[in-house]
Structure 1
Amino acid sequence: MSVTVRVPAKVNVQLAVGAARPDGFHDLANVFLAVGLYDEVTVTPADELRVTCEGPDAGQVPLDRTNLAARAAVALAERYGRTPDVHLHIAKDIPVAGGMAGGSADGAGALLACDALWGTRASRDELLDICAELGSDVPFSLVGGAALGTGRGEKLTALEVGGTFHWVFAMAERGLSTPAVFREFDRLAEGRDIPEPVASEELLDALAKGDPDALAATVSNDLQPAALSLFPELADTLAAGRAAGALATLVSGSGPTTAFLARDPSSAAKVAEALRTSGTCRSVRTASGPAPGATVLGRPSR
């Protein structure tokens, strides 16, 4: 008796970052787009909570209760007065520590899987509330599609997308810590007035029309200078993708994965091949978006 949930990666087509708040977080205008790279989380009853993981860079994934999947199981169990005695198995395909919300995806996947396994029948609002407690990107991992995240990124407004956008992602040789990138953002911003983060109307219009050229002209990431400061070699990867014909290049979220928008699947294949032979990255993947959020693939039989 087990439940498997598939959950997507994300790319931030806009990440506007405000000044540091008293609680240490930053207000964001974060335009998420879910893309078709997926982790799968399988939950099975067990004598105690345990986590296993397989797939690329699985050795970097914590297998204790700090793992977001484990934290999700504990949070749901506490709300319903039960013990989180499950085996969580994560099949990784989203890059680890890559700025594509792989850990957040696992948290959302585990939450939905445990809800199905235990029959708790939590409402979508309750699941989103738990997601927000787990982390800023976790709610979007649950809902997928496209959304504007405000606050820390956890307050979501669904966005219309009028077509399919084709992406190439280049994985770097090492990871970047999200808190470290935000600290570097604060250091680089010291002494400057940071405007309130606002979503670009032009970008939202480009998404709604499904226009890759218009989207390419409006994508932005306020964390990119900080990521490049900590990992200067990413500039070479961005340049290689630009030279190969990508419509737009940017660091995905806090990095270090770099994202390249292409006009169509054949253009994406060309950019991907150029990046594979550039010597500037570890591996390359193609994916399109929007993609659905966390989805139950198999429910328990009673």
Structure 2
Amino acid sequence: MSAVTVRAAAKINLHLGVGRPRPDGFHPLVTVFHAVSLYDDVTVTPADDWQVTTHAAGHVDGAALPDAGDNIVDRAAAALARHHARPVTGRVEVHKSIPVAGGMAGGSADAAAALVALDRVWDLGTSDDDLLALAAELGSDVPFSLVGGTALGEGRGELLTPVADDGSWWWVVVRAAGDGLSTPAVYRRYDELRPDASPEPAPAGVPLAALETRDPELLANALHNDLQAAAVDLRPDLADTIATGEAAGALRGLVSGSGPTCVFLARDADHAREVAGELRDGHPTVLVAHGPVAGAHVVTVEAG
């Protein structure tokens, strides 16, 4: 083969319960991941050397992309190569449409896509269990980026249980103007704001029950993010963005993960487009997406 392209989706957290930090420094989480139709594509072409090139869509802040050699794709390639005791080779092109440093796991999507594409190009046949284990080493969100759909995440988020989700959920995604938010900085602020946080994260029973109803009004009432207060404290403009979206008719607005992207649940596709139209005045990046969608998957294979 001459090239393989793998597509991976952005995620939002329908529920994000955060516990007090564990002795190892990580926060225990209970979260409901949900993959939505904003994608990054990773294309790998066989080569004798190694090179990663990133192309950003117009709405993606190219200045926020990591430096060459410091990309999570590089780390994913190194991890897979170590697992199979082989060299790191190939030419990789990352086409980014998921907002960078926006709380939507764009980097994790790239890592998952790279694992799948390199496994195919290198003809390794890595088992699903081993891919998930490698993904968990790369970051808490990377295993879900492999799996996609809707899933319950526990531990650091890497322990996944697929959730049956037959709903069709429509979202408006607003990438706040200005700098992104560092996930570690948001967690530090959470710890400062919640010194008395329980060691046990808030359970996800309410949103899981709402998903079963396929009723967007019920899901809107069940959305929850323990990191939202910390993100808003660091970026007070996010509160204005959420208020604006809800005033425009969204059923509910929420900071996505650690932010600063905000997501708004709509009743259906037409309603999402209406809300997006209201929000485009004053917000440079407003996108419409639906979920759940598939995890990292091959979209093209070019024969050599």
| TM-score category, normalised to shorter length | over 0.9
| TM-score relative to the length of structure 1 | 0.96
| TM-score relative to the length of structure 2 | 0.95
Match of 2:128 in 1: 124
Q: 1:1-302 maps to which residues of 2 (within 5 A)?
A: 1-55=2-56, 56-173=60-177, 174-190=179-195, 192-277=196-281, 279=282, 281-299=283-301, 301=303
The 1:285–1:154 alpha-carbon spacing in structure 2 relative to 1, beyond 3 Å, is: same
Unaligned runs of 5+ in 2: none
Unaligned runs of 5+ in 1: none
Q: Deviations 1:223-271 (Å, cap 9, x if unpaired)?
A: 0000000000111110110101111110000000000000011111111
In the TM superposition, what is the alpha-carbon distance from 1:282 to its structure 2 partner? Answer: 2.5
Aligned partners of 1:41 and 1:186: how far apart in 2? 36
Aligned partners of 1:193 and 1:260: how far apart in 2? 27
In the TM superposition, what is the alpha-carbon distance from 1:125 to its structure 2 partner? Answer: 0.6
Q: Deviations 1:79-100 (Å, cap 9, x if unpaired)?
A: 1111111121100000011100
**Pairs aligned (count):** 299
Range with bigger deviation, 94-103 or 61-70: 61-70
Aligned partners of 2:82 and 2:141: how far apart in 1? 22
Q: Deviations 1:194-243 (Å, cap 9, x if unpaired)?
A: 25114332210111222211101110000000000000011111011010
In the TM superposition, what is the alpha-carbon distance from 1:59 to its structure 2 partner? Answer: 3.5
SS of corresponding position for 2:41 = strand
Identity among equivalent pairs (%): 53
For 1:180, give the aligned amino acid: A
> Alignment RMSD, CA only?
1.2
Aligned partners of 2:130 and 2:102: how far apart in 1? 28
Aligned partners of 2:279 and 2:93: how far apart in 1? 32
Aligned partners of 1:240 and 1:286: how far apart in 2? 16
Q: Is the 8 A contact 1:90 1:106 kept in 2?
A: yes
SS of corresponding position for 2:114 = helix
For 2:148, give the aligned amino acid: G
Range with bigger deviation, 80-89 or 253-262: 80-89
Q: Is the 8 A contact 1:162 1:209 kept in 2?
A: no
SS of corresponding position for 2:146 = helix
Range with bigger deviation, 198-207 or 157-166: 198-207
Aligned partners of 2:180 and 2:21: how far apart in 1? 23
In the TM superposition, what is the alpha-carbon distance from 1:300 to its structure 2 partner? Answer: 5.1
Aligned partners of 2:27 and 2:302: how far apart in 1? 40
Q: Is the 8 A contact 1:164 1:289 kept in 2?
A: yes
